[in-house]
Chains A and B, each alone.
Chain A
Amino acid sequence: MASVIPVKDKKLLEVKWVELPSWILTRDFSPSGIFGAFRRSYYRYYNKYINVKKRSISGVTMVLACYVLFSYCLPYKQLKHERLCKYYLRGHARRPPTPRPSWPEPLREEHNLDRC
């Protein structure tokens, strides 16, 4: 399938699915290429939301909100144990596993919705 514009020059949203692997291969993945990608994305955001005449605080607050979400995702494995639940299972907190006795375990209650 011949394209009028070469694949290399197309933006990502204009690339067809068939051409996607070849588009990815034409991108520049050297350190300066990656740095250039960061710089371009920074200036795209900056010129759209911050460097305008009727600027509002939403330009900065969007960045801060994304930062909060990002820092929530980082320690998610530890934070997931601290959610508020209706019922807590034994051993929900972060503790090293204690050696269990050899007799059979008692039956646990099944509360699927509120399990932590």
Chain B
Amino acid sequence: MNENLFASFAAPTILGLPAAVPIILFPSLLIPTSKYLINNRLITTQQWLIQLTLKQMMTLHNTKGRTWSLMLISLIIFIATTNLLGLLPHSFTPTTQLSMNLAMAIPLWAGTVATGLRLKTKNTLAHLLPQGTPTPLIPMLIIIETISLFIQPMALAVRLTANITAGHLLMHLIGAATLALSTISLPMTPIIFTILALLTILEIAVALIQAYVFTLLVSLYLHDNT
């Protein structure tokens, strides 16, 4: 275990040059495209999964909202593959970097707000005040609703960062504890190792769920605004 626990989250470099860009582009190699109707198993499986996700996610949108399908499906595929690849030993997960998650969350959220302001201006502004509030509370409530609107992209980004980072940190710590315990008391090691195995299963689930939650929230913001 390194004395600085966060050293494994540092941005990777190859001979001083940042290697983050090739690592971010790597998942695209695992998802090939094809020009044929009937493909090999890899592409067929991937296309089936994508269709499943698409149907599940985009049914609640109207026509205007469905123009965002490509964006949302590529988002969920990117986040899911990046998170799952980050579970491999020693790999770097770009979604642990807050900068990257902010770069994903802010433009998408801003896009939904701008769409709403453009298409349904009155409705979007009316959302800033819940129905049935007593008159004296109105100014305060508008301020609160505006703040909650502006917090949305921050919450999206920080949620993803914190979940993935926390999971990885926990795995590092428990792995180091297993190694250390193997020298101190051998009977305890299988117990800790079982915890590590369960944690890995949890991490796989978290990786997929976080991708889903991110995309779902963006699509909800979109639904409010189209």
Chain A residues at the B interface, C-beta cutoff of 8 Å: 42, 46, 50-53, 55, 59-60, 63-64, 67-68, 71-72, 74-75, 78-79, 81-82, 84, 93-95
Most buried by A among B4, B26, B90: B90
Distance A82 CA – B1 CA, assembled complex (angstroms): 7
Name the residue of chain A whose CB is nearest to the CB of B23: A71
| Of the residues B13, B32, B90, contact of A50 by C-beta under 8 Å | B32
Determine whether the beta carbon of A68 is less than 8 Å from that of B89. yes
**A71 surroundings in chain B (CB, below 8 A):** 12, 23, 88, 90-92
Is the beta-carbon distance between B29 and A42 smaller than 8 angstroms?
Answer: yes
Number of interchain pairs (Cβ within 8 Å): 56
- Contacts of A59 on B, CB cut-off 8 Å? 42
Q: How many interface residues does chain B have, given as a range?
A: 20 to 34
Please indicate the chain A residues that have their CB under 8 angstroms from the CB of B91 in the complex.
Answer: 67-68, 71
Q: Which A residues lie within 8 Å of B90 (CB)?
A: 68, 71-72, 75, 79
Give Cα A81–Cα B32 distance, bound, in whole angstroms: 39
A51 and B88 in contact (CB under 8 A), knowing A63-B29, A94-B3? no
Taking CB atoms, residues of chain A closer than 8 Å to B1 are: 82
Q: A78-B2, A82-B2, A94-B3 are in contact. Are A67 and B26 (CB under 8 A)?
A: yes
Cβ contact within 8 Å between B85 and A93: no
CB within 8 Å for A74 and B14 given contacts A60-B30, A63-B30, A94-B4? yes
Residues from chain B with Cβ under 8 Å of A42 in the complex = 29
Find the B residue at minimum CB distance from A56: B41
Do A60 and B42 touch across chains, with their CB atoms under 8 A apart? yes
Cα A84 to Cα B175 in complex, Å, equals: 14
Q: CA of A68 to CA of B87 in the docked complex: distance in angstroms?
A: 10
Q: A55-B41, A64-B88 are in contact. Are A74 and B4 (CB under 8 A)?
A: no
Inter-chain contacts of B85 with A (CB < 8 A): 64, 67
A80 to chain B, nearest CB (A): 11
User: Judging by beta carbons under 8 Å apart, are A50 and B42 in contact?
Assistant: yes
With contacts A67-B88, A71-B90 known, what are 7 further pairs, Cβ within 8 A?
Answer: A50-B40, A51-B40, A71-B12, A71-B91, A74-B92, A79-B90, A93-B3
